[in-house]
Amino acid sequence: MKKIHSDSICRRVSGLLAATLFSLPNPGNAAETRLPNTREMNLSAAEISIDGREIYIDNARALSDKTNFDDYLKLHYRLYPKTHNILPKNIDIIKNIGIYMPSDRVFIKDPSVPISIIDATGVARTANTWFSAAFDRNANNSVTPITLNMTQGSSLSVVVRGWTSGFNLRLTHVGTGESVSHTVSVATQADSLFIYPRMPIFRSGKYYLRMVPIDQSSFTTDVMIQEANLGPTRAIENNQPFSIELDGTSAAYVKMKVHLRVDECVIFSVNSLSLMSTGGVVVLGSDGRFISRSFLQTNDHNYGYAAMFEDDYYFVINGWDFHAGGTTHVTTLGKAWTSFGPNISINYLGR
Comparison of pLDDT for 330 and 302, the residue scoring more: 302
Domain that holds residue 73: 2-96
Rg of the chain over Cα atoms, rounded to whole angstroms, equals 22
pLDDT tens digits along 338-351: 223 333 344 433 33
Give the SS3 label for residue 348.
strand
| Residue 165 and residue 192 share a domain | yes
Look up the CATH number of the domain holding residue 62. Answer: 3.10.450
Give the SS3 label for residue 14.
helix
Is 126 contained in some domain? Answer: yes
Is 279 contained in some domain? Answer: yes
Contact indicator for 290, 280 with CB cutoff of 8 Å: no
Does the structure show a pLDDT above 80 at 34?
no
Alpha helices by DSSP H, listed for 195-295, are: none
Question: For residue 245, what pLDDT band results from cuts at 50, 70 and 90?
Answer: low
Instruction: Give the integer Cα–Cα distance in Å for 187 and 166.
Output: 6
Q: Kindly report the pTM of this predicted structure.
A: 0.78
Predicted local distance difference test score (pLDDT) of residue 174? 95
Q: How many domains does the chain have?
A: 3
| Residue 307 and residue 213 share a domain | no
Instruction: Give the integer Cα–Cα distance in Å for 103 and 110.
Output: 18
Does the structure show a pLDDT above 80 at 182?
no
Is 104 contained in some domain? Answer: no
Residues composing the chain? 351
DSSP 8-state secondary structure symbol assigned to residue 199 = E
Which among 83-87, 162-166, 239-243, 325-329 has the top mean pLDDT? 83-87
